[in-house]
Amino acid sequence: MAFSTHRLLSSALPVIVVVALSACVKKPPVLATPPPPPPAAAPTVTTASTTPPPPPARPPEPPPIPTEPPVRSNALLPWNDRPIEEVNGPNSPLKPVFFAYDSDELDDAAKKILAVNADVLKQYPTWVITVEGHTDERGTAEYNLALGDRRALTARNYLISLGIAADRLRTVSYGKEFPFDAEHSEGAWHQNRRAHFMLTSK
């Protein structure tokens, strides 16, 4: 069902550029309580109003050349057309948060980043992500597996408090096994004490 809708809308691309582009990025949401399946033609409009807050209002008058709006609309949900590996790449829209040594507490900077990540997750309501807890190399292996577990859970709980459904947020701890920076310096350790947010399914 989801596929046929998608294909139908994609085939409309050459005809109505604006509609097609906004349709591409809007797959039917896989939420816990999915809305009843709307008629074939309607979904683009209805889901558009339930998904993220729209960018600044468009002028109501019909623009002569609709180049500007499609670009902005595309920029809103650009990641759904990319492979998961790319979403999880260096330019991921989901930013890591960092922790103090031996701590699983979120400071203000971390909370700000999590708020941004929560916005991204609201924009992409189908995304299921895995929150990875990582540590620096100080401390023993098993201890760090537990610390990474707590970091991932703390970040996850904060995202839940910001309105993200719990079933979209998995956690995993890698302890000190997958450092961001393998050097043995305070700078590297800072980079490595983190929660990483990886897209698991779109």
Partner 1 sequence: MATRTALIALTALALVAAGTAPSSTLANRPLFAQAGQQPDEFSITLRNAAMHQKVGMPDFLVPAGDTELAAAARSIADVLWNDIDFEREFYMIPRKSSAGIPAAPITALPYDRWAELGADAVLVGSVTRKGDEVVVQLRMIGVRGASQGKQGFGAEYPNCRMSNPRFCAHSIADDFHKEVRQLDGVARTKLAFVSDRDATRVVGRPSQTQAQGKEIYIADYDGANQLRLTANRSLNISPAWGPGGNLLAYTSYLSGFPDIYITNLATPGRALERPAQGDANAQNQMAAWSPDGSRLAFTSNREGNMDIYVVNRDGTGLRNLTAGRPEADLAPTWSPDGGQIAFISDRAGTNQLYVMNATGSGQNRLSGEKADRPTWSSLRFIAFTVGSGPGHDIAIWDFNNPGVKILTDGVGSNEGPAVAPNGRHIAFFTTRWGKQHIAVMDRDGKNIRQITEVGNNTFPNWQPAASR
Contact set with partner 1 (CB under 8 A) = 85, 88-90, 92, 130, 134, 138, 140-143, 145-146, 149-150, 153, 170, 172-174, 177-182, 196, 200
Please report how close the Cβ of residue 124 comes to partner 1 at its closest, in angstroms.
18
Please report how close the Cβ of residue 178 comes to partner 1 at its closest, in angstroms.
5
Q: Which residues pair with 198 in a beta bridge?
A: 130
The answer to whether residues 113 and 99 touch, using CB atoms and an 8 Å cutoff, is no
Cα gap 135→142, rounded to integer Å: 11
Please report how close the Cβ of residue 197 comes to partner 1 at its closest, in angstroms.
11
CA atoms within 13 A on the CB side of 3: 0
Cα gap 32→189, rounded to integer Å: 38
Looking at beta carbons only, is 77 or 169 nearer to partner 1?
A: 169
Please report how close the Cβ of residue 139 comes to partner 1 at its closest, in angstroms.
8
Looking at beta carbons only, is 1 or 182 nearer to partner 1?
A: 182
- Written as one letter, the residue type at 43 is P
